[in-house]
Amino acid sequence: MLILAHEGQKLTQGCFGLFYFKDPKTSLLHGCDAFSGRNIMHMADALISPAVGGAMWAATAGLTVYSARKLKEEMDERKIPLMGVMGALIFAAQMINFTIPGTGSSGHLGGGLLLAILLGPPAAFLTMASILTIQALFFADGGLLALGCNIFNMGFFPCFIAFPFIYKKIASSGEGAKRILAAALAASIIGLQLGAFGVVIETVFSKISELPLGTFLLVMQPIHLAIGIVEGVVTASLIGFISSTRPEVLEAAAGPARGKPFSIKPVLIALILVAAFTGGVLSWFASSNPEGLEWSIARICGNKELKSPESGVHALLSRIQEKMAFLPDYDFRKEKPEGLAKSESAQGKENAWPSMRTGTSVSGLLGGAMSLVLAGLIGFGIKIFQGRKSGRRDG
Amino acid sequence: MQIVLLTQRKISFSLASSRAKRSVPPSSREILIFDIGLLNVCAMGSIDSSFFDIGRLDALSSKDSPVHRIDPRLKVLTTLYFIAIAISFDKYDPAGPVPLLVYPMTLMIIGEIPFSYIAKKLLIASPFVLSVALFNPILDRCPMLNLGPISVSGGLVSFASIMTKYVLTVSAVLALIACTGLDSICSALARMGVPKAFTIQLLFLYRYIFVLGEEAARMTRARALRSFGGKGLGMSVYSSMIGHLLLRTVDRAQRIHLAMLCRGFDGEIRHGEPSKIRLSDLLFLAGWCALFTLLRLYDFPAWLGKGLGRLL
């Protein structure tokens, strides 16, 4: 061990702040860290459609009500202060990094599985939900409308799927550190894979990102396999630490939840119904053409086979079709009937594309810039008005 | 065990070389200790700045201004409606949602929230959005719009649209929290029918973030000062560190609960006199929602652009 002392001078946080901001290498590392977990799973408002956001909000609201009721039934409301403080602990622990041997990168705790082990699924779900709410509100990590998606991906899967069906099954059949490690590894890997899959599905269904399903899955799933392994090892070592120092904490946590067998089936069915209903209604409102989804799927398949989206008539056709479906108000549609556009596009994209809605778009962009200026002017006006008012008040 | 005493000479050496490398102004009296791995210093920077951030937003929310006084329920609803409208714009229409910027901007100006602060947070939080959105210009290369000799691809247009929506939604959320505060948002949520178990522990979590955050920052700092060349930053130290923090937390939670029971806690937190919705609050909600709806239904930027085009 190495101990470093310096003569009578106090280390300040400022010196580290300076170091941290001045060095490009550290900021790069910080960037990698941001990619390594905390941000990659948090969906943002800008990447989802209102239909997907609304559906996931409905599902999450249902789960929250269910969890709160479950807590009440089990007379577990005395857990509430413990939940809050544990949430704060996970929050703090997420900000402490550790190096992962052999890779040079750093990892941190996700916490969903650990909370489920310590508090039981319903309480852990509520705690994860509030951690994510704080992150969305204060750190802009994930949006407000995307909060439903985020709570579902990072709360539901570890707490209601990975813990009861994987961790508990493996860990309860025997004792020993190895078994706990295996259980935690399996549970956190599967929980994170499901969560990453959720992120991909929600993003693709929102149709904002151009990333096709296959490619996105190929990026997200392996990253989360790695994160899952790390999470599993850390969770297992934490559980090992607690069971060797204060085993009663684990027993107390598992106590009340063990009394009643936990059944997820009715919850799942209700969830699917709620999400499907809300999503259906919202997308019916949002899009004038409910068949849009099919086109998007056709396009994804086309992309996968053809590699590049603009080669091949099929992909092009579906692209045009999709644009037709989602841009009903643009001039393009008024000018050209659908059949004409289709036949033109078959001749080649050069003919079909250049003349399209150019005027509107350029003027639209110009208008966007103008309205930005206008908004600025309004803001400036309010500020001056306010300044005069407060000046009058002071005077 | 090896003990190294950094003498004044050594410190000045490290300062000099750091100045050469990073052009630190000579006036700065900070000590830079090179032996500490860059990584742990970085972690400390982020943990300290994170808690500083929460504290800053909390401080902003305790100001008093006309927007701070609006009933939190209506502010939450208005912001949710704003976000839904903002993201419902077409992905090939980057200009359409721009006028919506009026809402977060008005909140920030009237609520006296510094622009630069929100702008900084916008930059920090963008990695996920950026990393996903960057694929749009790569994958979607269909020409969509001609600006003279340059043709802009659909992907670039949709990228611009994602970034517009990102700025709008994130600034609205930050403006909401900065002019409302979490306590008010919790009581608003409770009065809108969100289960008590959720809102109460959200309040707990928020209160204890500051306590545990400070504790965690202290532990991280201590660990960073004891680990050289990346040694000691691994998983075993981490898990025993977090384990100790966890055990302390469990004990603390128990003490808190007992103390609360002694003071008559019955599972409910009273938020003081429940605020009544006044006429001005309703006007706030109705006015903004009407404006958002109008901006969604009529393409205001296109009008403006066309008008300008005709003038030119």
Q: How far is B122 from chain A (nearest CA, A)?
A: 8
pLDDT tens-place string over residues A15-50: 332 222 223 333 333 333 333 344 567 788 888 888
A84 sits in which H/E element = helix A80-94
Over chain B (312 residues), the average pLDDT of each successive run of 10 is 36 41 43 40 55 78 83 89 86 81 88 85 77 77 70 79 88 89 86 86 86 85 81 80 87 85 79 75 88 84 78 75
Show residues of chain B in contact with A365, CB under 8 Å. 94-95, 145, 301, 305
Q: How far is A173 from chain B (nearest CA, A)?
A: 25
Whole-angstrom Cα distance, residue B173 to residue B116?
16
pLDDT tens-place string over residues A287-327: 433 333 333 334 444 443 333 344 444 455 455 445 543 33
Chain A: residue nearest B235 by CA? A98
Chain A: residue nearest B11 by CA? A6
Helix%, strand%, coil% for chain A, nearest 5: 75, 0, 20
Domain ranges of chain A: 28-253+260-286, 292-350
Residue contacts between A and B (CB atoms, under 8 Å): 463
Cβ <8 Å between B209 and A91: yes
Chain B: residue nearest A22 by CA? B22
CATH number for the domain formed by residue range(s) A28-253+260-286: 1.10.1760.20
Show residues of chain B in contact with A242, CB under 8 Å. 243, 246-247
Low-confidence ranges of chain A (pLDDT < 70): 1-40, 75-78, 101-108, 252-268, 270, 274-367, 388-395
ipTM of this complex: 0.77
Contacts 24+ apart (CB under 8 A), A258-267: A259/A74, A260/A74, A262/A121, A262/A164, A264/A160, A264/A161, A264/A164, A264/A165, A267/A63, A267/A66, A267/A160
Q: How far is A65 from chain B (nearest CA, A)?
A: 6
pLDDT at B117: 85
Residues 6+ apart with CB under 8 A from B34: B14, B18
Show residues of chain A in contact with B178, CB under 8 Å. none
